Chains A and B, each alone.
Chain A
Amino acid sequence: MIALTHVTKLYGSVIGVNDVTVELGTGAYGLLGPNGAGKTTFLGLVTGQLRPSMGTVLVFGERPFFNARVLRRIGFCPASDLTERNATPQEWVRYLVQLSGFTPAAAAIRARRALEQVGLDEASRRPLGTLSKGMRQRAKLAGAIAHDPDLLVLDEPFDGLDPVARYELVELVRAWSQTRSLLVASHLLHEVEALHAGLAVILGGRLVASGPVEELRRLIDTLPSEVRVVSTNARRLAEVACRNPGVDTLRFIGDDTFVVGTRHPQQMAERIGITAREEGILVRELIPGDRSLEGIFGRLVQLHRGVAP
């Protein structure tokens, strides 16, 4: 469905994406990466807004840029909020459907149907400026699906939504992905996980990993992580830590602090905690490995570059 081969996109001297090669078949995918990682550029290339500076982008076997055949099969919901405040959702979606080449009568029917699908039929005649952000997100989604695309591409669709609106939108998108293909860009792992989508992780314009969420989780779990301990008897606790399997590195920072590199940071932290309690050692700080998304990304980059074992 989507094939990028050695794709690089440059904005002058700034790199948008860098030498990305990936093939995504039909199905649901999450494009995961922190802000500024190159997700929007990736989606811009896939949705025919941008041309690659180098390499080839194929969607449904064809280049999407300036290609009506491909664009007709793509629905895109950008990250930016709808600033078209005076138009109603009905007018806005009908406009977008007509831009896809439908007759006014067909566009009106499709717009109404899409707004019903996203649960916005009652508010469809209110100006967009009077709707909540969640409702405007739904209106954007309706605009993206009303022309019945084969591939739905969403850029940060859950950004800025309250938990209820987020849950409802996740459900909507998940229902969509049961029958059609989906590509969702997000910087939040749990959002992509909730969609039961495969993952492509992008960082610094590079694709560092791709695959099912479970596989990536397993992969992440095998990457070494650091546990930092500050204690009154750091040497004794370091001795205990070294007895554990899976210790890669250990280094002291002063007399009371040590950092241990391990593939099982959680177990290591638990073991040190138990020992400290049993032997009455005061532990001032016990920080298990960096489980934040940035930390995970960082370790995936290490793996990608061959730094991590």
Chain B
Amino acid sequence: MTTINTVNTIPPDAMPAADRGGLWPLWSVLAVARFQIGRLLTPPRLALAALGVVFPAAVLWAAESISEDRLSREAGAMILYALIPEAVCMLGLLMTMCPAVADELERGTWVHVAVRPGGRRSLLLGTYLAAIGWTAAVAMSALIVALLLGVIRDGTSLAPVLIGLILLSCIGRGALFALPAVIVPKRALVASVGVALVVEYLAGFIPAVINQLTVSLRLRSLLVKWMGWRREVPIQMQLLIDTNPPWIQVTAVFILAAVLLLVAVLILEWRQFPPSEES
């Protein structure tokens, strides 16, 4: 290399004066969450959300039409559980959490985020918050619409149970989908569907240690406990639920989510995307 001595000398400046509070990582995360919510407020996304809101009510209405009578509280709870904390939350999180990194790469905004201090983790955690907020809002709206339909006897008493399950479903599964989002960003949706099927719906129903690591076991167990169905569940089916008290189930979901997010953040902090992979 030919090196010629250089050049203009400017005294190095001190660190920029900081208007940063002690909670500066929190500001970054909240900024991302707010920005991602803004991105979700587009006509196609709102249309999808509206579909998610009316879909459970439509299924309930169809079920009532077939039975020709109002649904029992138990049957209503089972249907709503399958439709809202499971289906609506799962689909909502697939749409919002999976593209956490891929979307940035496609838009060419990844580079803007990656050069900010803590930008990568803020992107992931902020997107996670936005995904939870958006999905939970859609799911709760779906619950309200379904209950307002009035096809379930004593339906309003189900609201606290299902709201709790919706929140836990979003918290646990959002974190679960964070992993494919950072490991295989461009195939995150496909990978997440695979993870959902294999982990949540296959491993989750294996009566062994492995199902302790799934969100679906915790949600099922909480549904049984909060609905007071413990004694009514057949002995064979009791293998598919956990008998520990609700606070343990809730804590397990939070711990699972924290561990999954931590791993996802570490992977993302360490990832490199060659310029050719962007947009």
Contacts and interface: CB of A to CB of B under 8 A. Distances in A.
Interface of A: 1, 11, 16, 21-22, 24-29, 40-41, 44, 47-51, 60, 66, 68-69, 71-74, 76, 78, 80-84, 86-87, 91, 94-96, 98-107, 109-110, 143, 147-150, 179-181, 196-198, 206-212, 215-216, 219, 300, 303-304
B66 to A, nearest CB: 44
Q: List 5 A-B pairs, minimum CB-CB distance, nearest first.
A: A211-B4, A106-B19, A68-B117, A98-B31, A101-B24
B20 A101 contact: yes
B21 A212 contact: no
Nearest to A80: B108
Nearest to B116: A99
A126 B115 CA distance: 26
Contact of B12 (A71, A150, A207): A150
B109 A98 contact: no
Contacts of B111: 49, 76, 78, 80
Nearest to B278: A80
B272 A49 contact: yes
A181 B27 CA distance: 28
Interface of B: 1-13, 15-21, 24-25, 27-28, 30-32, 35, 38-39, 42, 107-109, 111-119, 122, 269-270, 272-276, 278-279
7 contacts: A11-B276, A22-B1, A68-B117, A84-B109, A103-B24, A109-B19, A209-B2
A99 B272 contact: no
Contacts of B273: 49
Contact of B1 (A72, A196, A210): A210
A181 B108 contact: no
Contacts of A95: 31-32, 35
Contacts of B116: 71, 96, 99-100
A103 B22 CA distance: 10
A101 B274 contact: no
A96 B269 CA distance: 18
A102 B117 contact: no
Contacts of B108: 78, 80-83
B20 A27 contact: no
Contact of B8 (A28, A110, A147): A28
A308 B10 CA distance: 35
Given A72-B117, A100-B117, A25 B13 contact: no
B117 A179 contact: no
A25 B274 contact: no
B119 to A, nearest CB: 5
B137 to A, nearest CB: 20
Contacts of B276: 11
Nearest to A12: B274
Contacts of A21: 1
A26 B119 CA distance: 26
Contact of A101 (B11, B38, B117): B117
Contacts of B113: 99
Given A82-B108, A99-B112, A211-B4, 5 more contacts: A83-B107, A86-B38, A86-B39, A207-B1, A212-B4
Given A98-B27, A104-B31, A208-B1, A51 B6 contact: no
Contact of B3 (A78, A103, A109, A211): A211
Contacts of B42: 86
A41 B275 contact: yes
Contacts of A69: 117
B12 A11 contact: no
Nearest to A101: B24
A11 to B, nearest CB: 5
A101 B275 CA distance: 25
Contacts of A94: 31
Nearest to A26: B10
B1 A198 contact: no
B16 A29 contact: no
A27 B8 CA distance: 5
Contacts of B32: 95, 99
A56 B8 CA distance: 24
A103 B4 contact: no
Contact of A87 (B17, B38, B122): B38
A206 B119 CA distance: 30
Nearest to A67: B117
A212 B274 contact: no
Given A25-B9, A26-B10, A99-B122, A104 B27 contact: yes
B274 A198 contact: no
Given A51-B272, A80-B279, A101-B20, A180 B13 contact: yes
A208 B35 CA distance: 43
Contact of B19 (A25, A27, A50, A103): A103
Given A47-B115, A80-B278, A181 B10 contact: yes
A48 B42 CA distance: 33
